[in-house]
Amino acid sequence: MVMNDEIINKYYAKQINLPNFGIDGQNKLINSKVLIIGAGALGCSAILYLSAIGIGTLGICDGDNVEIENLHRQILYDIDDIGKNKAVISVDKIKRKNPYIKSKAYSRMITCENINLIASDYDIVLDCSDNYDTKFLVHDYGYNNKKTIIQGNIYQYEGEVFVFPFQNLTNCDIPCYRCLWDHVPKTFDRNTSIKGVIGIVPGIVGLLQSFEAIKLILGFSSEESSIGYLYNSIECELNKIRWCKNDKCKLCCRERNKYICG
Amino acid sequence: MKVNIIYYGYFREITGKCKEFSDFDVQNLKELFYQLNKKYNFELNIDEVLISVNGIYQNYSDYELNENDEVIILPPMSGG
Ligand SMILES: [Zn+2]
């Protein structure tokens, strides 16, 4: 579809009008590349809003197909999408939502073998996955390759967003996720879907992840180090958590980097 | 001393509460966690838990607590 600048500027007119946003802000978004790993409940909410705001290139990585039990929370998909690959369907929806951006589907699960091939081209990675193995893989890849990772996690009525601005790694010491959790204690190694989930919680957490990405791209964020946001939907409260490098960390304590992958 | 505790995930489930502002006869994190473990039976060691005080993660169990500190007790979460 060929569109002229006038139409594109109309599409984004209301956000361009915002103080501190303007054409400059829109151009920053258009020139940015964001990869979303996992097109489940967190991913769907992020995909909808990041495509609408005009991130210039969006990559969607997911090897799963849509199932009927996904539809109550994976808000991008319809009944007609059941059985189809989530990344492919997402890109299809993005093209209809905002034809002025580029999007690419990676219809496979992210692995140690393919992560560099998929992620190396992107500036920011939103980790919207639903399991610890992927979360650690994406995080460690980000650390080792100086790529900013914005991780979303949920548990029942609660959620977390961790921002790891690893793109700043050359400037300062940035603590990592393994400084907090080197591995997951057995007690917590459970699957959320068994415990249940309501769509609004990952919807909100996916939006928090998205806005953290937008703030970094636009230069709105004053945070230069890692930070965690903890969200309790029942109390409607947000807590923040900061931390220092853990000298026992097996990833970011340089002599001990045990987690090179990708 | 009075401490404001915020529970997430597993700890909210076990305690049945999001928050607790209570008086504890404790000096440091280790003692606080010991008392909570006794009260709620978390069946966890302190090194299996993430604890922040006033917004900063503390991995030293002898970290000295002060009156009205805000303590968050957090498990890892994996859902998406
Ligand atoms: Zn670390």
Give yes or no for A241 touching B (CB within 8 A): yes
- Taking only Cα atoms into account, the Rg of chain B, rounded to an integer number of angstroms, comes to 12
Q: Is B34 on the interface with A (CB under 8 A)?
A: no
The answer to whether B72 contacts chain A (CB < 8 Å) is yes
Query: A128 C-alpha vs ligand 1 centroid, how far in Å?
Result: 21
For residue A20, being part of any structural domain is answered with no
Cα-to-centroid distance, A77 and ligand 1 (Å): 37
- pLDDT in the model for residue A172: 60
Q: B6 to chain A: nearest residue by CA? A: A239
Please tell me whether residue A5 adopts helix, strand or coil conformation: helix
Residue A69 belongs to some domain of the structure: yes
Q: Is B45 a residue whose pLDDT tops 70?
A: yes
In angstroms, the CA B74 to CA B7 distance is 7
CA atoms of B1 and B27, how far apart (whole Å): 8
The answer to whether the Cβ–Cβ distance between B79 and A185 falls below 8 Å is no
Residues linked to residue A105 through DSSP beta bridges, in sequence order: A60
Q: Which of B56, B75, B80 sits opposite A130 (nearest CB)?
A: B80
Could B80 and A230 be called an inter-chain contact, meaning their C-beta atoms sit closer than 8 Å? no
Give domain status of residue A168, yes or no.
yes
Scanning every residue of chain B, which has its alpha carbon at the shortest distance from the alpha carbon of A175?
A: B57
* Structural domain boundaries enclosing A191: 32-256
Per-residue model confidence (pLDDT) at position A255: 64
Topology annotation, domain B2-74: Ubiquitin-like (UB roll) (3.10.20)
In a domain, A99, yes or no: yes
pLDDT given for residue A2 in this prediction: 43
Residue type, A64: D
- Classify the C-alpha dihedral A222-A224-A225-A228 as positive or negative: positive
**For residue B79, which residues of chain A lie inside 8 Å, CB to CB?**
130, 153-155, 192-193, 197, 202
Distance of CA B50 to the CA centre of its chain: 8
pLDDT along chain A (262 residues), means of 10: 72 96 96 98 98 98 98 98 98 97 98 98 97 96 96 96 91 86 78 76 98 97 92 95 92 72 55
Q: Does the beta carbon of B48 lie under 8 angstroms from any beta carbon of chain A?
A: yes
Report domain extents, chain B: 2-74
Residue A8 lies in a domain: no
* Mean pLDDT within B51-74: 94
* Cα A144 to Cα A165: distance, rounded to the nearest angstrom: 12
At residue B32, the pLDDT reads 96
Would you say residue A7 lies in a domain? no
Q: Which residue of B has its CA nearest to A231?
A: B8
Question: For B49, which residue in chain A has the nearest alpha carbon?
Answer: A185
CATH of the domain at A160: 3.40.50.720
pLDDT of residue A257: 64
In this prediction the pTM is: 0.94
**DSSP symbol at A176:** -
Tokens 């190396």 correspond to A120
- b/e for A158-192, b at 16 or more Cβ within 10 A? bbbbbbbbbbbbeeeebbbbbbbbeebeeebebeb
For residue A171, being part of any structural domain is answered with yes
Mean pLDDT (chain B, rounded): 93
Residue A6 covered by a domain: no
H helices present in A127-229, as ranges: 132-144, 192-195, 200-218
Could you tell me the CA-to-CA distances from A196 to A156, A206, A260 in Å, in that order?
Answer: 6, 17, 34
Question: In Å, what is the CA distance from A108 to each residue of A60, A115, A239?
Answer: 10, 11, 34
Residue A202 forms contact with B (CB below 8 Å): yes
The total of structural domains in chain A comes to 1
